[in-house]
Amino acid sequence: MPGRDIAGLVAQMTLDEKAALTAGIDTWQTAPIERLGIPAVKLTDGPNGARGFTHGAASQSASPSLCIPSGTALGATWDPEVVRAAGAAVARQARDKRARILLAPTVNLVRHPLWGRNFEAFSEDPWLSGKLASGYITGAQSEGVAATVKHLVCNESEHERRTCSSEVDERTLRELYLLPFEIAVREANVLAIMTSYNRLNGRYLADRSDVIGTIVRDEWGFGGIIMTDWWAAASTVEAAQAGLDLEMPGPGRAFGPALAAAVRQGAVKEDRLDQKARRLLGLFDQLGAFDDPAGLPEQPEDRPGDRVIARHTATEAMVLLANNGLLPLDLSQLKRIALIGPLAEKPSVMGGGSASVLPHYVVSPLEALKDRIAEKVQLVYEKGCWLAESDAGAAADAARSREEKADAIEQAARVAGQADVSIVVVGTNPYWETEGRDRETMDLPGDQAELVEKVLEANPRTVVVVNTGAPVTLPFAGAAALLQCWFAGQELGNALAAVLFGDAEPGGRLPVSIPERLEHTPAFGNFPAESSSVRYGEGLLTGYRWYDARHLPVLFPFGHGLSYSTFELGLPRTSARRLPVGGRLEVEVDVTNTGPRPGTEVVQLYVSPSRNTTPRAHLRAPKQLKGFAKVRLQPGETATVRLELVERAFAYWDVADPEFARLLSRLARTDGDGQSTGLHRQKAGWYVDPGTYQLQLGRSSADIAHILEIEVAGSPDPLPPGAALG
C-alpha cells in the first residue's frame, strides 16, 4: 500500500543502486532493486492509446489497444470533461499493458501547419492546450497512472529535431510555449514531465537548470519526475544539477553508472542523487507500483464502455466548417448515396510515430454507412484515386496516376452524378503526418483535390469530409457541406455516420486557424530549421493573434464550428466593473438554443487591452483566449455560462531591464532625442498594467457577439509567486 518510508528506503541503498534508478534497464522499464523490493516500473507510449508490447522491447511487437481521437481532435472538443474521460480510458489500457507511466499528453503548440506532429498537439493556443491537457492528466492519473506532459519545450518541428535550436525570446517563451506546461503542473498536478529533443537557445533542455530547476521546480512547485525523451541528449553533471531524474531508455549513458562515477569524483553531490531517488520512489509508491505483481503478461481488454468514450469523443471533435442545409442527411428523402475516396474504405484514425497503436478494431466510413442505412438506401462506393502509405507506395501511385488516374476519377464522378447525394472522404494518413519528418506542403496528397473538384462538378449535393490531423489546403471550401473529422480514432466510421445523419451533433470547434494559404501563416519563412536553428520570429503573434494583428483573412478562424441548431448569446453580466489587485471577476452569459434540434455551443471569452492600457514598449496581441465553456441544450433551453477571470488573464511577462539606468548614466544628454519613455523594470515577472480592458464574448476569434469594458487596477509590482492562473 502507498505510504512507505521513502527516505528510509533511500538510506538503505548503495550509491550504485541509487544511480541505477536514474536510467532505464531497457526500452520501457526502470531498474529494479530486488534486495529492497523495488520493482521495475514500465512506461508506455501515448497519447491516443497505450501501446504496450506483448513480447518485450526487443521484438517491438505491439499488443492491441483502444485508439482514441488524436490530439487536434481532442483539442477540437473544447471540453476538458470529454478529454478527461478519454485520458482515463487510455490509462486503463496502460494498466492492461502493466504500465504505470503514460508518455502523454503532448502540449507543444500547433505553430506551423507543416509540423509533422501537429496531429498529436491540442491547439495553436496555449490556454486551450493547457486546460484540455489538464483534463487528460486528471483522467489518466485517476486510474493510477502517471501522465507525462511533453515535450519541454518549443518542440514544434521534426526537421533535424535532435540537433536544431529553437530560438525564442523570454517573453514569448513564458506567455506561449511554457504556459500549457505551467497549467498542467499547477492545476492538474501532473506527475511527470519529458524534456524535448531540440535545444532551446543553444542548450539542451535536460541540462537547463534555469528551466527545469528555477522555473519548473522552484517557481511552479513541481515535485514529480523529469525524464528525457528517448535517446535525447543529456550531460551527466549539468543534467544532474539541473534537476533531471530519469534518462530513457537504458542502459544509461549520462545517468546510471556515469552518474555514480560523477558522485564518487565529487562533480555531483550525493544529496542530489538522493533527491532523484526519493522522487522516483515516491512516485512509484504514490501509484501503488510497489504492490504490482511482477512478470504478469499484458492483457489488453476491449471494454464496451471505452468504445462508447471513443465514439462520443470523435463526434464531439468533428467540426462542421460549412453547411448550406445539406446536413444532416434525411434518409427518407434519399434513394442512392455515392461514397467516394480512398479514405472512405481505409480511414486514417491516427498519425505516425510514437503516438501510433494497434487498435482493437477500426470502423471505416464504408462499413458504418452500410450498417446505418441497411437496406433503406442504395450505397455505391468508388475509390476515385489512391493515397500512398509508404515511400514505395508513393512511387507506385505516381506511376499509376500517369496510367488509371483519369478513368478512376471520371468513374467516381459518374457515380456521384447518378446519386441523390455524394460523400467524399479525403485527407492524409500516418505516412504523410508522422513523427520524424515534417510535411512539405499543405496540399492534399495525390489526386484527391482533383477528385473532389470533379465530384462537385457532377453533383453539387456533395459532403466533403476532411480526414486529416492538421490543416490542409481546401480549394473546395465552397462545397455544400464541409466536415473536418480529424484523425478520429477507431470509432471514426461510426462517429461520422452518426454526424452525417443527425444522430449526433458535430460538436467540435477549430483549435487551429485554417489559413487561406501557407504564405499567410505566422511562422512562414521561419520554419523549419536552417543551419541548426529554427527562429520563432513571429514572437507573441502566433495563430489567431497573428491574423488579427496583421489584418489577414483566414479561410476558417480559430474557434469556428457550426451546429445543427442555432443559438443566441444574451447580454453578458460581470460581478463588478473593476478588477482590484488580487481580485477575481465573474462573467455570466445566458445561452439559448433557438433552433429545432438539440445542439452544442462553445462560448469563448477573449481579453483585449485598449490603447490606454499598456506602454508602447510592450506589444500585446489584439486579443487572447482566457475562458471558454461548452454547453449542450435542448430546443428552447437556456443555460447560464459562468467564466472567471483573475489578474493573470490581464498580465504579460516583463523580462526587465536592469541595465537601463547604467546606460543612461553614460549618455551626454537624455532629453528630447527620442529616448524611450517605456517601462524599464528592475525585476522580471508577470505584470498587470492599470487601464481599461475589453472582454470579448463570441463563437470564434472572428465572431464576437458582445464586448464589455472593465477597469483593471493593476500594480507597479509583479504578481506574487503562485498567483492563480484562472
pLDDT of amino acid 680 = 87
Grid cell 475509390 — which residue? 383
**SS3 track for 139-207:** HHHCCCCEEEEEEECCCCCCCCCCCCEEECCHHHHHHHHCHHHHHHHHCCCCCEEEECCCEECCEEHHH
For residue 522 the three cell numbers come to: 505566422
For residue 126, report the phi and psi dihedrals to the nearest 5 degrees: -70, -30
Please tell me the distance from the alpha carbon of residue 56 to that of residue 61, in angstroms, as a whole number: 7
CA atoms within a 13 Å half-sphere pointing along the CA-CB vector of 303 = 17
Asked whether 210 and 184 are in contact (CB, 8 A), the reply is no
Per-residue burial over 526-565, b = 16 or more CB atoms within 10 Å of its CB, e = otherwise: bbbbeeebbebebbbbbbbbbbbbeeeebbbbbbbbbbbb
Lowest model confidence (mean pLDDT) among 45-54, 111-120, 550-559: 45-54
Tell me the pLDDT band of 55, cut-offs 50, 70 and 90: very low
CATH 2.60.40.10 occupies which residues in the chain? 567-712
Sheet holding 225-227, edge to edge: 43-45, 101-103, 146-152, 192-195, 225-227
Using CA of residue 405, residue 406, residue 407, residue 408, what is the dihedral sign? Answer: positive
Asked whether 289 and 254 are in contact (CB, 8 A), the reply is no
Lowest model confidence (mean pLDDT) among 329-338, 400-409, 548-557, 654-663: 400-409
Per-residue pLDDT of 563-577, as tens digits, reads 999 999 999 999 999
CATH class given for the domain over 311-512: alpha beta
Asked whether 511 and 106 are in contact (CB, 8 A), the reply is no
Tell me the pLDDT band of 58, cut-offs 50, 70 and 90: very low
DSSP string, 406-462: HHHHHHHHHHHHTSSEEEEEEE--TTTSBTTB--S-SSPSTTHHHHHHHHHHH-SSE
pLDDT of amino acid 59 = 43
- pLDDT cut 90: percent of the chain above it: 88
Query: Could you say which of 229, 285, 447, 654 is catalytic?
Result: 229
pLDDT (mean) for 40-55: 87
420 burial level (CB within 10 Å; 0-12, 13-18, 19+):
middle
According to DSSP H, which parts of 419-571 are helical?
A: 448-458, 492-500, 544-550
Spell out the residues 6+ positions from residue 159 whose beta carbon is closer than 8 angstroms to its own. Answer: 437, 438, 528, 529, 534
Please tell me the distance from the alpha carbon of residue 384 to that of residue 366, in angstroms, as a whole number: 14
What three-state secondary structure class fits 473?
coil
pLDDT of amino acid 397 = 64
| DSSP state, residue 345 | H
What three-state secondary structure class fits 659?
coil
pLDDT (mean) for 198-220: 97
Is the confidence at residue 18, as pLDDT, over 90?
A: yes
Active-site residue, 229 included: yes
Grid cell 434540434 — which residue? 597
Please tell me the pTM assigned to this model.
Answer: 0.96
Whole-angstrom CA distances from 633 to 600, 602, 711 are 6, 11, 33
| DSSP state, residue 118 | G
CATH 3.40.50.1700 occupies which residues in the chain? 311-512
Q: Give the count of beta carbons closer than 10 Å to the beta carbon of residue 250.
A: 21
Lowest model confidence (mean pLDDT) among 222-226, 286-290, 672-676, 689-693: 672-676
Lowest model confidence (mean pLDDT) among 247-256, 452-461, 609-618: 609-618
Lowest model confidence (mean pLDDT) among 313-322, 386-395, 431-440, 457-466: 386-395
For residue 452 the three cell numbers come to: 473532389
Asked whether 414 and 382 are in contact (CB, 8 A), the reply is no
Rounded mean pLDDT of the chain?
94
| DSSP state, residue 38 | B
Nearest Cα residue to 355 out of 547, 103, 584: 103
Sheet holding 165-167, edge to edge: 203-204, 199-200, 165-167, 533-535
Give the CA radius of gyration of the chain: 26
pLDDT (mean) for 207-216: 97
For residue 697 the three cell numbers come to: 464574448
pLDDT of amino acid 231 = 96
Architecture of domain 567-712: Sandwich (2.60)
pLDDT (mean) for 144-157: 98
Please tell me the distance from the alpha carbon of residue 467 to that of residue 32, in angstroms, as a whole number: 44
